[in-house]
């Protein structure tokens, strides 16, 4: 019986419109495979590699500036070469991708957690509540997210000691990016809530005196969450870019912690001295990761938007 139920479920999954659309898009399939491989490599780094590139005691300065394995002087043990401190570039990229993905995902979750409730409340309530929330969002949208993150980081640097700031650098960066990006999710959910509140089932719920909190949670929220999550997929790529930019400028992830932006900044110091691999490979991984996530987000938008079918 369980086997028949499994086969039935699998048949429905294969015949579903979303599955059909996904399999008909080779670019999306390739982007999904690349993204999954990067996630597995990043979060499986402690198992997949024996190197711990950002633990000082594990470094060997005699291995510094080794080129990739296919270059003269390269060794297979360091397939993508090493940097100026003898860190294995491949292992550093794996750990760095883990940090970048963590910052991107958690910052988007924070943005969604702030933006969705505020957007639903604004769209459903209307009046001065809607005006107040949306004017705050409009004001924040005039300020680039990077500047907001720089401001928050600057405040924490001046108010905390360097040791404490280094310990809380990643949470501060997540909060900075999350607080800078919530208005776009609030605007999307507000539009959906304004449409839903005019429908008959909402009027029926109000007629039987259903509390507004239950109307928002049971009726409005499930009908506006879809488009927001699709935008959030693309928002992960944007958050990764912001993190990499801040880390490249030296105000994001501290140098003692790996991230793709940190690795690119470190390698940039050796770009014109012949050690091109130190910055090239992290930069390529960043480009491929962001591009893959963006392609998946574009496919989700096109698939779940009836106007684009």
Model confidence at 39: pLDDT above 80:
yes
pLDDT at 16 over 70: no
Residue 223 pLDDT more than 70? yes
Q: Give the residue with greater pLDDT, 85 vs 14.
A: 85
Mean pLDDT across the chain, nearest whole number? Answer: 81
Q: How far from each other are the two terminal CA atoms of the chain, in whole angstroms?
A: 38
Question: Is residue 95's pLDDT more than 80?
Answer: yes
Using an 8 Å Cβ cutoff, are 293 and 236 in contact? yes
pLDDT at site 14: 54
Q: Residue 18: pLDDT band by 50, 70, 90 thresholds?
A: low
Full-model pTM = 0.84
Mean pLDDT of 133-143: 86
What pLDDT sits at residue 7?
46
pLDDT at residue 17 is higher than 50: yes
With a cut of 90, say whether residue 271 has pLDDT above it: no
Please report the DSSP string for 232-292 in residue order: HHHHHHHHHHHHHHHHHHTSSS-TTS--HHHHHHHHHTTGGGT-THHHHHHHHHHHHHHHH
| pLDDT digits 0-9 by tens, 168-194 | 888 888 888 888 888 889 888 888 888
Above 90 in pLDDT, residue 106? Answer: yes
Question: DSSP secondary-structure letter at 81?
Answer: -
Position of tokens 């005699």?
A: 62
Task: Give residue 308's pLDDT band: very low, low, confident or very high (50, 70, 90).
Answer: very low
More confident residue, 38 or 142: 38
Q: What is the largest CA-CA distance in the chain?
A: 79
pLDDT tens by residue, 272-303: 777 788 888 899 999 999 999 888 888 887 77
**25-36 pLDDT, tens per residue?**
888 889 999 999
């Amino acid at each position: 019986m369980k086997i028949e139920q499994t086969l039935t479920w699998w048949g429905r999954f294969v015949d579903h419109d979303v599955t059909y659309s996904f399999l008909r898009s080779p670019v999306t399939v390739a982007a999904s495979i690349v993204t999954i491989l990067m996630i597995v490599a990043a979060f499986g780094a402690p198992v997949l590699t024996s190197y711990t590139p950002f633990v000082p005691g594990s470094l060997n300065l005699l291995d510094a500036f080794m080129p990739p394995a296919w270059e003269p002087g390269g060794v297979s043990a360091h397939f993508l070469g090493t940097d100026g401190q003898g860190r294995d570039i491949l292992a550093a990229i794996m750990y760095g991708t883990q940090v970048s993905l963590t910052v991107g995902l958690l910052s988007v979750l924070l943005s969604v957690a702030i933006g969705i409730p505020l957007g639903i409340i604004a769209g459903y309530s209307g009046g001065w509540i809607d005006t107040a929330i949306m004017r705050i969002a409009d004001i924040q949208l005039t300020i680039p997210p990077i500047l907001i993150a720089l401001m928050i980081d600057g405040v924490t640097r001046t108010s905390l000691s360097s040791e404490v700031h280094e310990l809380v650098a990643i949470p501060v960066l997540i909060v900075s990016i999350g607080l800078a990006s919530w208005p776009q999710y609030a605007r999307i959910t507000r539009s959906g809530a304004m449409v839903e509140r005019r429908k008959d089932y909402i009027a029926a719920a109000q007629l039987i005196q259903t509390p507004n909190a239950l109307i928002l949670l049971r009726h409005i929220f499930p009908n506006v969450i879809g488009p927001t999550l699709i935008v959030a997929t693309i928002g992960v790529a944007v958050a990764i870019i912001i993190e990499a930019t801040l880390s490249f400028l030296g105000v994001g992830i501290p140098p003692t912690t790996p991230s793709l932006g940190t690795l690119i900044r470190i390698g940039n110091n050796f770009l014109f001295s012949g050690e091109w691999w130190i910055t090239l490979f992290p930069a390529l991984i960043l480009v491929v990761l962001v591009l893959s996530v963006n392609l998946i987000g574009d496919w989700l938008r096109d698939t779940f938007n009836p106007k684009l079918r």
